[in-house]
Amino acid sequence: MSDLRDNVAGTDDVHKMTEAEAAHEVLPGYATTLGTMSGLHTTKRESFWSIVLPPLVAGVILLGIWYFVSYAILSESRRFLLKPPHEVARVGFFTWDNLSEMLTALWNTAQIAIIGLVIATLIGLGLAIIMSQSKLLERAIFPYMVILQSMPILAIVPLIGFWFGYDQTARVVVCVLIAVFPILVNSLFGLLSADQGMHDLFTLHNAGRWTRLRKLMFPAALPAIFTGLRISAGLAVIGAIVGDFLFGQGEVGIGQVIKLYAARLRGEELLAAVLLACMFGVVVFAAFGWIGNRVVGKWATQARA
C-alpha cells in the first residue's frame, strides 16, 4: 500500500512537472506571438504617423507664415491683400451664402472636368493603341501631339471661341487639350514596355494583334496608364478652371467666381474659393490614385497566381 501511495504521489509529481514544463514551454511562445503582434501594431502606428505627421507639421508651419505675413508684414490698410486664416474660414467657409455659391460653381466646374477627362482618356488611349501597333503611325502622329501640348491655350482661344462658342463646349475643349498628352505618352510607354520574351512566346503561339494587345500589352501598360490618368485628372481640373476664366458664358464655374471676387477685392472669399479649388484637385488626384492602386494591385495578384 505504501508503495502504491508512493507511485501515485510520484505520478502526481510527474503531472505537476509536466504542467510546469508545458507552461514554461508554451508561455514563451505566446509571449513571442504577442510580441510579434505588438510589433505589427507598433509598425502600423509608426507608418500611420509617418504619413500623417509630416503634412500636419508642414500645414502648421504654412499657417504660421500666413499669420506672420498678414499681421507683421502687411499694414492694416493693406491687409485685404492677404486676410488671416481665421477670417478666410469665417467668411468663406462658415458663411452659408458664400459657401453655397462656391460649391455650386465648383460642381459646375467638376462636371466640365469629368467630361473633358473622359474624352481626353478615350482620345489619348485610342491614339496610344494605334501608335503602338505601327512605328510609322507613331512617327507621324507624335510630333503633332507635342506641338499641341506646347501650344499656349491663350494663343488659340479666339479659334476655340469661333469654332465652339463661349459656353460649356469650349471649356470641355480646353480640358481635353490640356489633359490628353499625359494619357497618350504614359499609355504608349506602357504598351511598348511589355517584356520581349513574352512577345516571342506569343509569336511562337501565332497570336494575333488583338490577342497580343489584350492579353500582353494592355495588362503590362496598366500601371503607366493609371499614372497618366492621375496626372491628367489634375490637369483636367486646371483646364476647367482656365476655361471658366477664358469663356464667361454658360453656367458659372469656380473660375468665374474667383475672377468676380478678385474684381471686387473680396479677399476672404477669393482665398476661400482658391483653397476650395485646390482641395478639389487633391481629392480628384487621390481618388484616381486609389482606383489605380486597387486595379493594378488586383491585376498583379492575378498575374502572380
CA distance 119 to 249: 22
- Our measurement of the distance from residue 50's CA atom to the centroid of its chain's CA atoms, rounded to an integer in Å, reads 19
Cα distance between residue 286 and residue 22, in whole Å:
52
Separation of alpha carbons 248 and 167, rounded Å: 7
**Confidence band of 126 (pLDDT split at 50, 70, 90):** very high
CA 296, CA 299: separation in Å to the nearest integer? Answer: 5
Q: How many CB atoms lie within 10 A of CB 33?
A: 10
Q: How far apart are CA 31 and CA 27, in angstroms?
A: 6
**Does position 35 have pLDDT exceeding 80, yes or no?**
no
Does the pLDDT of residue 140 top 70, yes or no?
A: yes
Distance spanning both ends of the chain, measured CA to CA: 68
DSSP helix/strand/coil, 95: coil
**CA 50/CA 280 separation, integer angstroms:** 24
Ramachandran category for residue 82: left, alpha or beta (phi over 0 → left; psi -120 to 50 → alpha): beta
Supply the pLDDT for residue 7: 47
**pLDDT mean over 230-254:** 85
User: Which pLDDT score is estimated for 42?
Assistant: 56
What residues contact 280, with CB distance under 8 A and at least 6 apart? 106, 109, 110, 237, 254
Write out the three cell numbers for 296.
493594378
Q: How much is the pLDDT for 44?
A: 59
The alpha carbon of 131 is separated from its chain's Cα centroid by a whole number of angstroms, namely: 27
CA distance 280 to 106: 8
* Predicted model pTM: 0.75
Nearest of 107, 74, 110, 98 to residue 271 by alpha carbon: 98
300 near 235, Cβ under 8 Å? no
Q: Using CB atoms within 10 A of its CB, is residue 151 exposed (0-12), middle (13-18) or buried (19+)?
A: exposed
Compare 83 and 50 and report the one with higher pLDDT. Answer: 83
Cell numbers of 294, please? 486597387
Cα–Cα distance for residue pair 112/241, rounded to 1 Å: 9
Q: Is the pLDDT of residue 144 over 50?
A: yes
How many distinct helices (H) and strands (E) make up the chain? 11, 0
CB neighbourhood size of 129 (10 A): 16
Distance CA 244, CA 239 (A): 9
Lowest mean pLDDT among 44-58, 92-106, 160-174: 44-58
**Residue 169, all three cell numbers:** 463646349
| Residue 171: count of CB within 10 angstroms of its CB | 33
Question: What is the arithmetic mean of pLDDT over 84-91?
Answer: 88
- Whether the CA torsion 238, 239, 242, 243 is positive or negative: it is negative
Q: Comparing C-alpha atoms, which of 297, 296, 304 is closest to residue 218?
A: 296
Residue 68 has pLDDT above 80, yes or no: yes
Mean pLDDT of the chain: 79
Chain segment 88-103, per-residue pLDDT in tens: 889 888 888 888 999 9
- The closest alpha carbon to 106, from 232, 275, 290, belongs to 275
